[in-house]
Chains A and B, each alone.
Chain A
Amino acid sequence: MITAGIDMGTQSVKVVILKDNKVLAQSSVFSGFDPAAAATEAFNKALEKAELTKSDLQYFIATGAGADMAPFHNSTISMMGADAKAATFLFPTARTIVDVGAEEARAVKCDENGVMQSFVVNERCAAGAGTFIETMARALEVEVEEMGPLALKAETASPINATCVIFGESDVVTLIHRQESKPEIARAIYDAMAERITSMVQRLGVTPDVVLIGGVAKDVGLVASLKRKLGIELLIPENPEFAGALGAALIAARKAGGASK
């Protein structure tokens, strides 16, 4: 059975194509100004990689902030539901899933079947999400990819109190004026972010194992800070940014009557 999931994220569109619970292909395209067009592009790319055509798909589920804009999907599923499904598929021991995306961070609790039990989302504030790192990288005049490795070089941390991106930025400017080093500032930024995410996850309750997914899970700086703040090991899949699309594809397989748990 062949199914697909599409994650219409705020920054990029991700597609995963599954055959009998094995990933055949995945693709990611920048959402840009026309998410629907980006979705079609990502979808076609994935089909091409998998050497399939649209008619080979038995079921297609959309998730993500712009799920309704996805082309020709059979149904939609919440991001939290998709997160839970993907995480327990990748790590059967997963009970708490932390998903940090471009504009949103969330945490989901689930049972052994990957059924969501409860969830929390960061409240109207991007200080716990990927955009924060991008804004701060600009303030430090470094590439966003350099931020993580830079933070790992820091010896101490200068605490900043980021309650929102804008205040965070002015805090960083204060550190720059104090002539703190870039690694220290980068570390401070990740610590502040991790603090926000940690308090959110703790409100939900931390049940191990904890899985970290979403594009920001690839950022070594955040991962280090988050491990420190949560005081717990984090399981991170190989392609954390595709977890949402994977979850949607897995649920599609179940809906189409497949063998997925």
Chain B
Amino acid sequence: MTQKEIENLRNTIKTASLKVISENIARMKKTSPNRPEIMQYFDEMANLFGQREKEIKELQDQGKKVIGYLCMFAPVELILAADAIPVRVGSGWYDPAKQGDKIVPVEVCPIVRSTIGTKMIGLSPFLEMSDVIINPPTCDGMTKLGEILSDQKSIWTLSAPRIKDDPQSLIFWKEEIKAMKKKIEGLTGVKITAKRLRAAIELRQKASLAFRRLQDVRKISPVIMGRDAMLVSQTITWDDTQRWTEKTMMLCDELERRVKQEEWACSPSNPRVMITGTPMFWPDNWKIPHLVEEAKPQGLIAADELCSGDRILYDPVGVDEWTGSDMLSAVAEKYLMASTCPCFTSADGNEDRINWLLDRIKEFKIDGVIYYTVRGCMLYAMEYARVKRILDKMNVPIYYLDTEYTREDVGQIKTRIEAFMEMLDTRVQLSRGTQP
């Protein structure tokens, strides 16, 4: 492609994307007409070509470094401690996947293909602004994605072990985190002192606290639609942490007030759904949440087990002693031990994920689980059988939904989601003794 063609393509896709972003928000508002006013903040933050892009650009011009990351294993606390800006750069855009097809076969996961395509046409402001990208090779796609992007970007590979509970894994991982700290210090010229690290850990802990508060209201009531909560969770991957925390606290104030007044976002008799599987990135890959919450009968996404959602902030770094080495160990442990990513295995399979799911199903009173994957997402696809076996035993309905980075299958997917919601609805009504 010539420079001119690239530019045209970028502009076309960007224009289309801005439209998708505002349509997404309009659809979320339509489902929940009395959405809290403070959601407007997150709606604005959801504009990937908006205020936050400008803000980061300005900070970068003042000398701050931007550190992109492709997966949740990147130790955000260390980035913050070095006064750099962390941004997640995995692509949620559908259209650039077609560009990625020029480099890798269509069988490859669309997140990877689209991230490649996004780089080819320079679509993502955050990816473009990144001075470096941390790439944990967690799945095959991510492993090679780093190599492909390294033609145009500096990539720091952060190697996560595949077996959590072996003591040598943790030793290795801690060394990786230590090395990452040095790299970050080298890039930013900022020494990550104990004081700085503590401040960063505490900053993220506060964010986790705000997030947990949001979780608590979702547990007990349909006070916020799942899509809104998912958007809130995801925006922290590019927003300023402190401001995000303040705004989320304000949202929680309002939601807690509504819980007292029993002002619900949807009927409390709606089936409560949990989504698990491949990460779902804003803006284009919002189709499943839309379909669930716009379905007849309507579902409520009460929780998710996605590294693009509830998993981001669920576990804070837990520190015993605020010494430099203890804090660094605590950061390492959080990113390894708390992760439920299917890249892990053990004699009992990815046990932590299963337990996470079972706990959440109970806590959030989940009526049914949507197990979502995209084509080429081998780890999640292969882990399904085990998850299903266990949920079947618990008599929790689970539905496997696989899709692509495309809008063309919306009709088909809608049919399936509505059938699943109909089934859950019938079960919910029967269990409450009312004939549907």
Residues of A within 8 A of B (CB): 65, 76-81, 104, 115-121, 123-124
Q: How far apart sit A140 and B347, CA to CA, in the bound complex (Å)?
A: 51
Is the CB–CB distance between A81 and B296 below 8 Å?
Answer: no
A60 to chain B, nearest CB (A): 16
10 contacts between A and B (CB under 8 A): A79-B415, A80-B419, A80-B423, A81-B423, A115-B426, A115-B430, A116-B423, A118-B423, A119-B420, A124-B412
CB contact list, B333-383 vs A, under 8 A: none
* B185 interfacial by beta-carbon distance below 8 Å: no
Is the CB–CB distance between A124 and B423 below 8 Å?
Answer: no
* B402 interfacial by beta-carbon distance below 8 Å: yes
Q: How far apart sit A120 and B296, CA to CA, in the bound complex (Å)?
A: 19
Interface membership of chain B positions 414-428, coded 1 if the CB is closer than 8 angstroms to chain A and 0 otherwise: 011011101100100
Closest to B412 in A: A124
* B63 interfacial by beta-carbon distance below 8 Å: no
* B23 interfacial by beta-carbon distance below 8 Å: no
B202 to chain A, nearest CB (A): 46
* B397 interfacial by beta-carbon distance below 8 Å: yes
Picked from A76, A79, A117, the residue with its CB within 8 Å of the CB of B296 is A76
Closest to A119 in B: B419
Is the CB–CB distance between B402 and A78 below 8 Å?
Answer: no
CB-CB under 8 A from B420, the residues of chain A are 119
Picked from B397, B409, B411, B415, the residue with its CB within 8 Å of the CB of A78 is B415
Q: How far apart sit A78 and B404, CA to CA, in the bound complex (Å)?
A: 23
B225 to chain A, nearest CB (A): 22
Is the CB–CB distance between B416 and A118 below 8 Å?
Answer: no
A217 to chain B, nearest CB (A): 20
Q: How far apart sit A76 and B422, CA to CA, in the bound complex (Å)?
A: 11
CB contact list, B10-55 vs A, under 8 A: none
CB-CB under 8 A from B409, the residues of chain A are 124
Picked from B411, B416, B418, B422, the residue with its CB within 8 Å of the CB of A121 is B416
Closest to B423 in A: A116
Q: Does more than half of chain A's interface fall in helix, strand or loop, or is it mixed?
A: mixed
Q: How far apart sit A79 and B399, CA to CA, in the bound complex (Å)?
A: 16
CB-CB under 8 A from A123, the residues of chain B are 402
Q: How far apart sit A120 and B418, CA to CA, in the bound complex (Å)?
A: 13
**Chain B interface category by residue count:** 10 to 19
Q: How far apart sit A119 and B409, CA to CA, in the bound complex (Å)?
A: 18
B429 to chain A, nearest CB (A): 10
CB-CB under 8 A from B423, the residues of chain A are 78, 80-81, 116-119
CB-CB under 8 A from B399, the residues of chain A are 118-119
CB-CB under 8 A from A116, the residues of chain B are 419, 422-423, 426
Picked from B402, B404, B411, the residue with its CB within 8 Å of the CB of A65 is B411
Known: A65-B411, A118-B397. A78 touches B418 (CB 8 A): yes
A132 to chain B, nearest CB (A): 17
Residues of B within 8 A of A (CB): 296, 397, 399-400, 402, 404, 409, 411-412, 415-416, 418-420, 422-423, 426, 430
A247 to chain B, nearest CB (A): 12
Closest to A110 in B: B423
Q: How far apart sit A124 and B375, CA to CA, in the bound complex (Å)?
A: 10
Known: A76-B296, A123-B402, A124-B409. A81 touches B415 (CB 8 A): no
Closest to B411 in A: A65
Q: How far apart sit A104 and B412, CA to CA, in the bound complex (Å)?
A: 10
Q: How far apart sit A220 and B422, CA to CA, in the bound complex (Å)?
A: 33
Is the CB–CB distance between A79 and B397 below 8 Å?
Answer: no
Q: How far apart sit A65 and B409, CA to CA, in the bound complex (Å)?
A: 12
Q: How far apart sit A77 and B415, CA to CA, in the bound complex (Å)?
A: 10
B384 to chain A, nearest CB (A): 10
CB-CB under 8 A from A124, the residues of chain B are 402, 404, 409, 412
CB-CB under 8 A from B402, the residues of chain A are 123-124
B39 to chain A, nearest CB (A): 29
CB-CB under 8 A from B296, the residues of chain A are 76
CB-CB under 8 A from A77, the residues of chain B are 422
Is the CB–CB distance between A65 and B422 below 8 Å?
Answer: no
Q: Which 7 A-B pairs have the closest CB atoms?
A: A78-B419, A80-B419, A116-B423, A78-B422, A81-B422, A78-B418, A115-B426
Q: How far apart sit A115 and B436, CA to CA, in the bound complex (Å)?
A: 11
Residue in B399, B415, B416, B422 with the greatest tally of chain A CB atoms within 10 Å: B415
CB-CB under 8 A from B415, the residues of chain A are 65, 78-79, 121
Closest to A80 in B: B419
CB-CB under 8 A from B397, the residues of chain A are 117-118
CB-CB under 8 A from B416, the residues of chain A are 121
Q: How far apart sit A123 and B381, CA to CA, in the bound complex (Å)?
A: 13
Q: How far apart sit A76 and B397, CA to CA, in the bound complex (Å)?
A: 22
Closest to A108 in B: B419
Is the CB–CB distance between A81 and B419 below 8 Å?
Answer: yes
CB-CB under 8 A from B411, the residues of chain A are 65
Q: How far apart sit A16 and B308, CA to CA, in the bound complex (Å)?
A: 46
Q: How far apart sit A118 and B296, CA to CA, in the bound complex (Å)?
A: 18
Q: How far apart sit A80 and B423, CA to CA, in the bound complex (Å)?
A: 9
Closest to A123 in B: B402
A31 to chain B, nearest CB (A): 14
Q: How far apart sit A121 and B417, CA to CA, in the bound complex (Å)?
A: 11
- Starting from the known contacts A65-B412, A80-B422, 20 additional A-B residue pairs (CB-CB under 8 Å) come to A76-B296, A77-B422, A78-B415, A78-B418, A78-B422, A78-B423, A79-B415, A81-B422, A81-B423, A104-B412, A115-B430, A116-B419, A116-B426, A117-B397, A118-B397, A118-B399, A119-B419, A119-B420, A120-B400, A124-B402
Residue in A65, A78, A79 with the greatest tally of chain B CB atoms within 10 Å: A78
CB-CB under 8 A from A80, the residues of chain B are 419, 422-423
Closest to B416 in A: A121
CB-CB under 8 A from A76, the residues of chain B are 296
Closest to A120 in B: B400
A125 to chain B, nearest CB (A): 11
B308 to chain A, nearest CB (A): 23
Closest to A65 in B: B415
Closest to A255 in B: B436
CB-CB under 8 A from A79, the residues of chain B are 415, 419
CB-CB under 8 A from B400, the residues of chain A are 120
Q: How far apart sit A119 and B422, CA to CA, in the bound complex (Å)?
A: 12
Closest to A116 in B: B423
